[in-house]
Amino acid sequence: MASVGIQIRDLSVKYGDKPALREVSLDIPPNQIFGIIGPANSGKTTLLKCINRTIDFVTTASVNGSLLVGDQDVRRMRNVYELRRRIGMVFPLPVGLPMSIYDNVAYGPRMAGVRQRGELDVLVERCLRQAALWDEVKDRLTLLGTKLSGGQQQRLTLARALSLEPDVLCLDEFSIAIDPVTTMKIEEVLLELSREMTIVLVTNLVQQARRLAQNVAFFNSSRLVEVGETKQLFTKPREQLTFDYVTGNIG
């Protein structure tokens, strides 16, 4: 895994006529947790979709500007599947695929061509350990992924995201549907992982960003309002809007 940062220049996205992102320019440094906060509908999820180009599946979307992961412009990449393997994604709602836990985690590597059982065994154990799920499921790897609890399914999603050893890990409000204990476990994992990969953490929970992120960007109504070091953004933000949001007066 390389250390890749993300450079976004003048990114604008429209769904039909409605703007979702307006001329966003942002630098995400490598190997740290980068927080993105903001109220609903401010464009945070759209930004993530642009990073791994799942925005392509939204037929009404039009995208302008450039987004570089490492040194490659994702919009110009021909092999978009390659891109998506380099970027892991965790959604708000936990999704366990209807297959065994083992197959869940092995899915990505299998699609990418890994066939050897031995390799997959090592990989599955490693990813489940990284996602803090191994101890709970090591005796029942054949259990259906959909039968796990919400918190376990979210960690399973995380394990899947890690299975392809991504350069960038994106999490979109990963904790809203799971219990606090699991959230804590995952947060510990993220801190550990940030030493070797770039993590983009989109969250509605301002305190979570404060805990985990080294730098934070604040979005509002499809615009990037402010970006800076966590400590600075939360104690002495430059914009009034930012101040209002982090103190809970709006959003």
Partner 1 sequence: MPDKNLPENGSTHFRYFVAAKPNGSPGDGTLEHPSRSIRDAIEGIRARHAGDSPSVRRLNGYDRIDICSVLKGPAAKAETKQRYEFFVDPLGATDLAIGSAQLPWPDLESALEGVAKMDAEGAISLAAGEHLSLSVREVFSATPVDRRKRRHERIAQIALGLVTLSLVVPLVAILSHLIYKAWPVLTPSFLFENPRNQMTAGGVWAPLIGTFYLVFISLIIASPIGVLAGVYLNEYARDNWFTRVVNLAVVNLAGVPSIVHALFGVGAFVMFANMGESVLAASCTLAIMTLPVIITSTREALASVPMNFREACWNMGASRWQTIRTIVLPNSISGILTGVILQVSRAAGETAPILFTGAALYMTIPTKGLRSFFPYSLQDGCMALSYHLHVMMTQVKGASPEAIEAGKSLPLEHLQYGTAVVLIGLVLTVNSFSIGLRMYLRSRKKW
Partner 2 sequence: MATITGNLNERPTPARRGTSSLQRLGELAIESLIRLCGYSAILFVFGIFFFVFREGAPMLFGGLDLLKFFTSTDWNPVSKTPSYGILGLLAGTASVTVLSMALAVPLGLGAAVFVSEFCSPKIKEALKIAIEMLAAIPSIVWGFIAYMMLNPLIIWATGAPVGLNVLNASIILALMSVPVIVSVGEDALKAVPDSYREAALALGASRWEIVYRVLFPAAKNGLLAAVLLGIGRAIGETMAVLMATGNANQIPTSPLDRVQTLTATIAAELGEAVQGDDHYRVLFVIGILLFVIAFVVNLSADLIVRGIRGKQNA
With respect to partner 1, which residue has the nearer C-beta, 77 or 191?
Answer: 77
Least Å distance between CB 166 and partner 2? Answer: 7
Asked if residue 80 lies in contact with residue 53, where contact means CB atoms within 8 angstroms, the answer is yes
One character per residue 5-24, x = contact with partner 2 (rule: CB under 8 A)? --------------------
Site track for partner 2 across 119-158, x = CB under 8 A? x--xx-xx--xxxx--------------------------
Query: Which of the choices partner 2, partner 1, none does residue 144 contact, using the CB cut-off of 5 to 8 A by kind?
Result: partner 1
Q: Which is nearer to partner 2, 131 or 148 (CB)?
A: 131
d(CA 143, CA 188): 26
Separation of alpha carbons 111 and 85, rounded Å: 10
Tell which positions 90-109 bind partner 2, by CB under 8 A: 108-109
Contact flag: residue 56 with partner 2 (CB under 8 A) = no
Provide DSSP, the chain. Answer: -----EEEEEEEEEETTEEEEEEEEEEE-SSSEEEEE--TTSSHHHHHHHHTTGGGG-TTEEEEEEEEETTEEGGG-S-HHHHHHHEEEE-SS----SSBHHHHHHHHHHHTT---HHHHHHHHHHHHHHTT-HHHHTT-TTSBGGGS-HHHHHHHHHHHHHTT--SEEEEESTTTTS-HHHHHHHHHHHHHHTTTSEEEEEES-HHHHHHH-SEEEEEETTEEEEEEEHHHHHHS-SSHHHHHHHTTS--
Quick one: 114 or 144, whose CB is closer to partner 2? 114
Q: Which of partner 1, partner 2, none has residue 132 at its interface (CB below 5 to 8 Å by kind)? A: partner 2
- Coil, strand or helix: which one is 82? helix
Tell the smallest beta-carbon distance from residue 93 to partner 1 (Å). 7
The contact pattern for partner 2, residues 159-198, with x = CB under 8 A and - = no contact, is ----xxxx------------------x--xx--x---x--
Binding site residues, partner 1, CB under 8 A = 52, 54, 57, 59, 81-85, 89, 91, 93, 95, 97-98, 107-108, 111-112, 144, 146, 157, 160-161, 163-164
Binding region for partner 2 (CB under 8 A): 1, 79, 81-82, 85-86, 108-109, 111-114, 119, 122-123, 125-126, 129-132, 163-166, 185, 188-189, 192, 196
